[in-house]
Amino acid sequence: MSSAAVGAVIIALGAAASLTGIGVIVLGLLGRRPGWWRETRGLVWAMLAMSTLAIVWMERALITRDFTIRFVADHGSSQTSSIFNVATLWSALEGSILLWAFVLTGYVAAVVVKFRDKRDDPMMQWVMLTLFVVCAFFFLLMVGPSNPFQSFDPPVGYDGPGPNPLLQSHILMAFHPPILYLGYVGFTVPFAFAIGALVTGRVGEGWLLATRRWTVIAWGFLTLGIVLGAWWSYETLGWGGYWAWDPVENASFLPWLTGTAFIHSVMVQERRGMLRVWNLSLVVATFALTILGTFITRAGVLESVHAFSESSIGPALLGFFTLIVVVSLGLIAWRGDQLRSPGRIDSPISREGAFLANNVLFAAFAFVVLLGPIFPLIVEALNDDRISVGNPYFERMTMPIGFTLLFLMAVAPVLPWRKASPGVLAERLIWPAWMGAGAMVLSVLVGARGWAPTLAFGLGGFAGGAALRQVVLATRRQGWRGLVGRTNGGMIVHVGVVMIAVAFAASNAYVRQDTFLLAPGQTASFAGHELTFEGTDFRQYPNRSERRVAIDIDGEQVYEPGIALYPFAGQRIGIPSVRSTLFDDVALSVDSFPVDDDGNETGQVVLRVTVQPLIVWLWIGGLVMALGTLLAVVPGRRRNPTAPVSAPLPGAEPPATAEPVKELV
Amino acid sequence: MTRRLALWLGVAVVALSALVYASVDEGAPRTDADRAYAIAKTIGCPVCNGQSVAESNASAARNIRVSIAKWIDEGRSEDFIRAELRSLFGDDVDYTPSGDGVTSLVWILPVVFGAGALAGLVIVFRRWKSEALLDASDADRALVEAAREARDDG
């Protein structure tokens, strides 16, 4: 049996397990075999085993260069270094779907373990059915249009081209896609619970409490995945940028936006029992957007540097996306009566009022991010005009939203539930406000100009101050426990967001770039830095040749940007080199090596230099957000969500104590 | 004047002064390279998939960068440079959508969306405000009382 056939059998067995799971649960629901569905656990383990085996089988093929599998023949190479050999799996379509299925079955297995005591709960039946359907979709994709184990008959001495050279030039490529997938795929779990809740009519808060940690974990991975992607693009593409509002970047950002909105608005439902339809819609939207994002990346409908080559899985993904949206909206409409909120929000100036505003802003943000990439398609369909919607549009439209979100981030954490008096707000916000003003003064003193970045620094200081105030108060009260739990971890996440916002504003407003023609020994001065061209070096590697130039920055250290030539792939890619400090980054990349009229090289180099302030805080901010998420999922001091904590109703006796009524739950 | 009011006035004065100073004072003048880079970031590379001229290493992108630098050197305006590039490579090289015709919708729709959401919120809050507060019935009070007793006993 050939390697490809073994792989195909593994995938087919996985698909069979998922389809059997669906069949067993449906039979149970029809009342034919009511007890069977509880035994679907074994099928989940079978799916996980098959997806794991498939991954191992593919990695074995990549590492041993088994070119009888077409995926390895198309994307593997005997010249690729070992770490990128492993990462080749997710450098192309079929492997990335395989990774998706692996992560998905892992999550499903975790659900089975976590909820093992709830096996008799009818809601779990629907949760498992939803999860099996999603698994079956991905397994069937691999059986059909995205088969990773197609066979290939390699000629004698065949060697593959290896993955795209850009994808094997930086170690971050080994981490960014898997972490992103852990985020994307993780949203399947809250989606499945939302469907389970809708079908069984248990649309209260139970399903939210059961899945909120899953949502936060998925969100944390998605955040880290996006930041690592930005970091990768900054380190490897050589133009000093990290976020280009590219359709694929937008596709990953959309579920992040709706997921962030959900994480906030869910607290209103837990506390007040409100916003049920809205929260369900956000969960569905987040999951549906991960599928839509996959469609955009994989189907080649939009032009992007990230997009994989055109493939035939587009219609399948679009069909699945439509199914998710139609079924979910149908269920929400069906349960409309039960979803009506029992409560109301007393005052817009309250914690829940701030969460509502937060959600409106995130929804508007998502609208802009979605409209931008699809608008050119609409215009082209309407009147055959070709237009582009690029970074100037996104920056202009999202800037006011970003400012307002920063302002909310400052005010919301100190707002009490129900109603806030101006006196309380003035008391709690004064020191954060001073931090904001201090940040503005400091930025002006160090030479920053322009109203927009200065306002961003001020609001950043304000929001950061408010988050730190909460952390200080909590740690004073509870010691180290003041750092863990959802609220406290959330404040650490806010600090990370502020770092990113400030770094984003500074790097966008004050980025400077220029090109210099330098002969050996010559020095260029740019943006306060001295760059000396010391010489050229030629290096030969098994899969590429590199031409590096030695550039001394400020007489401190030599950096070596260059150009690499991958003869097999026929590609020439730049190798940027970046000097990072906490204050600014100097990114160097080689534009070209000039030639004279006779075609001989002159020994000079055209060097592109990009200087940006505070870039490193983007990555630090991302790590702080990940750390905050980690702290948020550590159980903190639990407050009973149904405990009476709000203001008493008129005429009612005040509660004897504000302690939660533990026995009731 | 209370201490708190003084602190808030102080913060307002400091923040506003910093903001006004940062807006009015121009700081270091922008160089030609800065202007060229700012334009290049907003022009799409005609042969690359979704990369701007500033981002791409393709020779077409490099040539356009050189042209932009040359035009700026000649003292041409940003509008002239954009129009020239659009006529050479088509409207879709310009990353800034125009405000004319159907294209203007891309600017208008998000504003309509935002305004609609805001209006929706205002209406909802108004309705909530006009609704009478729910009164707890005797049955509700009995339920709470029973719960309290159960807790105290426990």
Residues of chain A contacting B113 with CB distance shorter than 8 Å: 363-364, 367
Whether residue A529 has pLDDT greater than 90: yes
Whether residue A663 has pLDDT greater than 50: no
DSSP 8-state code for residue A155: P
- Among B96, B112, B133, the strongest candidate for a mutation testing the A interface, having the largest count of A CBs within 10 A, is B96
- Is A557 a domain residue? yes
Amino acid at B85: L
Whether residue A665 has pLDDT greater than 50: no
pLDDT at A169: 73
Of B151 and A557, the one with more pLDDT: A557
pLDDT at B128: 76
Alpha-carbon gap, residue A251 to A249, rounded angstroms: 5
Average pLDDT of A20-49? 86
Dihedral sign for Cα A303, A305, A309, A315, please: negative
Whether residue A664 has pLDDT greater than 80: no
Interface contact flag, B50 A376, Cβ < 8 Å:
no
A655 — pLDDT class (breaks 50, 70, 90): very low
pLDDT at A209: 81
Query: What's the mean pLDDT when you consider all of chain A?
Result: 88
Residues of chain B contacting A437 with CB distance shorter than 8 Å: 11, 14-15, 18
Interface contact flag, B49 A303, Cβ < 8 Å:
yes
A572 — pLDDT class (breaks 50, 70, 90): confident
Average pLDDT of A631-657? 56
pLDDT at A309: 53
Portion of chain B with pLDDT greater than 90, in percent: 44
Amino acid at A364: A
B133 — pLDDT class (breaks 50, 70, 90): low
pLDDT at A53: 97
Whether residue A340 has pLDDT greater than 90: no
Q: Does A389 touch chain B (CB under 8 A)?
A: yes
Structural domain boundaries in chain B: 29-96, 102-153
Highest-scoring range by mean pLDDT, A59-73, A159-173, A233-247, B26-40:
A59-73
Of A106 and A277, the one with more pLDDT: A106
A638 — pLDDT class (breaks 50, 70, 90): low
Average pLDDT of A432-449? 94
pLDDT at A308: 55
Alpha-carbon gap, residue A552 to A550, rounded angstroms: 7
Whether residue A237 has pLDDT greater than 90: no
Q: DSSP string of A585-616?
A: EEEEEEEE--B-TTS-B-S-EEEEEEEEETTH
Superfamily (CATH H level) for B29-96: Cytochrome C biogenesis protein (1.10.8.640)
CB atoms within 10 A of CB A543: 20
CA-based nearest distance A328→chain B, Å: 22
Residues of chain B contacting A356 with CB distance shorter than 8 Å: 121
Whether residue A347 has pLDDT greater than 60: yes
Interface contact flag, B151 A662, Cβ < 8 Å:
yes
Portion of chain A with pLDDT greater than 70, in percent: 93
What is the domain range of residue A607?
512-617
Residue labelled with tokens 């040359």: B70
- Is A2 a domain residue? yes
A282 — pLDDT class (breaks 50, 70, 90): very high
The H or E element containing residue A539 is strand A529-540
Amino acid at A485: G
A571 — pLDDT class (breaks 50, 70, 90): confident
pLDDT at A652: 47
Q: Domain boundary at A141, A163, A185, which?
A: A163
Selecting from B19, B44, B57 the residue whose C-beta is nearest the C-beta of A451 gives B19
Whether residue A659 has pLDDT greater than 50: no
Selecting from B4, B54, B65 the residue whose C-beta is nearest the C-beta of A426 gives B4
- Among A265, A344, A377, A462, the strongest candidate for a mutation testing the B interface, having the largest count of B CBs within 10 A, is A344
Average pLDDT of A595-620? 92
Q: What is the pLDDT of residues B79-112, one digit of tens each?
A: 999 999 999 998 889 999 988 888 899 999 999 9
- Is A270 a domain residue? no
Q: What is the pLDDT of residues A292-318, one digit of tens each?
A: 888 877 766 665 555 555 567 888 988
- b/e for A451-466, b at 16 or more Cβ within 10 A? eebbbbbbbbbbbbbb
Residues of chain A contacting B106 with CB distance shorter than 8 Å: 371-372, 375, 389, 393
- Among A234, A239, A303, A661, the strongest candidate for a mutation testing the B interface, having the largest count of B CBs within 10 A, is A239
- Is A484 a domain residue? no
| Number of separate domains in chain A | 2
- b/e for A353-379, b at 16 or more Cβ within 10 A? bbbbbbbbbbbbbbbbbbbbbbbbeeb
CA-based nearest distance A464→chain B, Å: 16
Scan residues 458-517 of A and list those with Cβ closer than 8 Å to B: 458, 511-515
Residues of chain A contacting B49 with CB distance shorter than 8 Å: 303-305, 307
Whether residue A35 has pLDDT greater than 80: no
Whether residue A168 has pLDDT greater than 80: no
A29 — pLDDT class (breaks 50, 70, 90): confident
The H or E element containing residue A535 is strand A529-540
Average pLDDT of B37-43? 91
pLDDT at A607: 93
Whether residue A97 has pLDDT greater than 90: yes
Residues of chain B contacting A376 with CB distance shorter than 8 Å: 92
Of B137 and A523, the one with more pLDDT: A523
For A239, the 3-state DSSP assignment is coil
| Inter-residue long-range contacts of A456-460, CB under 8 Å, 24+ positions, other chains counted | A456/A402, A456/A403, A456/A406, A456/A501, A456/A502, A456/A504, A456/A505, A457/A502, A457/A505, A457/A506, A458/B15, A458/B18, A458/B19, A459/A403, A459/A406, A459/A407, A459/A410, A459/A501, A460/A406, A460/A436, A460/A498, A460/A501, A460/A502, A460/A505
pLDDT at A79: 81
Q: What is the pLDDT of residues A462-520, one digit of tens each?
A: 999 999 999 999 999 888 888 888 889 999 999 999 999 999 999 999 999 988 999 99
Q: Does A305 touch chain B (CB under 8 A)?
A: yes
Q: Domain boundary at A163, A195, A216, which?
A: A163
Low-confidence winner among A163-177, A360-374, A636-650, B92-106 (lowest mean pLDDT) = A636-650
pLDDT at B102: 86
Please give the residue of chain B at the shortest CA–CA distance from A644: B144
A247 — pLDDT class (breaks 50, 70, 90): confident
CA-based nearest distance A643→chain B, Å: 11
